[in-house]
Amino acid sequence: MLQDIEPYLACPHCAQDLTRHERSLRCPAGHSFDLAKQGYVSLLAGDAHTGTGDTAEMVAARADFLAAGHYRPIADALAAAAAAAVGDGADAGAGGGADGPGGLVADLGAGTGHYLTHVLDTLPGRVGAALDISKYALRRAAKAHPRIGAVVCDAWRPLPLRDACADLVLNVFAPRNGPEIRRVLRPDGTLLLVSPTARHLRELVAALGLLSVDEEKQRRIDEKLGPYLTPAGRQPVEFTLRLSAQDVRTVVGMGPSAWHTDPDRLAAALEELPEPVEVTASVTVAAYRRP
């Protein structure tokens, strides 16, 4: 619930602490943020906008695809990496920069909260902050797990979290703001980053003309994070999906290709695919530490 993560939140305007006042959060400088009835709070700065966030249709597609269990091996690998990084929660509350009820897991680009839910199930002593710019996604994330608090924010701006407050930051198929991730991680905290390899969905990329992944993606990620975080290991996760035509429509509709794919062209291309179609899922789960 949102109240679980309130001790870790900071005002997006002045970075001061936020406290609850009935149906709003306020800082000592007088900035106030109303709590949405759907269970999340928007901590966007006044000149920010949500135009780059996932649409309601994209969020619904993602929720359906993930609920079907297609990416369960990714969620399992991430949860195992989280347990290895911070333990089972027995020491929750002992570290971090906030006087919160337990250690914080911040999911930057959390979407519906699917992956954060799996991690929190593995770490029973911790609470989770689902951070995303899409209010449609956060309406779902706010209800995904009893220890998730959902916050609308822009990943490319200062995050509305206190300094050194998070034991763990998750980043799954999402934007990465190296300076801010370092700032919110406590000393020796861990970033777990899931990114696609060039083999991810390669059969659909070729057949449907979807956006492809650069062969040098992991190297570029390491270079951009290098000034702020230290690599601490990585694990490849690759498996085969057997997808129906509807599954293919859903996986296309939930990702970045949804912004660039013509529906009529997609429908025609789907007619040429066998059913079910075997598709490669291929990602890297990489760990980075704050020195």
Q: In sequence order, what DSSP letters do the residues of 64-93 get, joined into one string?
A: HHHHTTTTHHHHHHHHHHHHHHH-SSTTTT
Cβ pair 166, 185 in contact under 8 A? yes
pLDDT at 269: 79
Cβ pair 154, 138 in contact under 8 A? no
- Under the banding of pLDDT at 50, 70 and 90, the label for residue 91 is very low
**pLDDT-wise least confident of 4-13, 14-23, 263-272:** 263-272
Q: Across the chain, what does the average pLDDT equal?
A: 89
- Please name the amino acid found at residue 253: G
- Please name the amino acid found at residue 127: V
Provide the CATH topology of domain 2-194+215-240+282-289.
Answer: Rossmann fold (3.40.50)
pLDDT tens digits for range 129-187? 999 999 999 999 999 999 999 999 999 999 999 999 999 999 999 999 999 999 999 99
pLDDT tens digits for range 231-290? 999 999 999 999 998 999 899 888 776 666 667 777 777 788 888 999 999 999 999 999
pLDDT at 111: 94
Q: Rounded to an integer, what distance in angstroms lies between the CA atom of residue 198 and that of residue 188? A: 31
- Please name the amino acid found at residue 102: G
Angle formed by the axes of helices 114-122 and 72-86, to 10°? 40
Angle (CA) 215-110-169 rounded to 5° is: 80
Q: Report the predicted TM-score, pTM, of the whole model to 2 decimal places.
A: 0.91
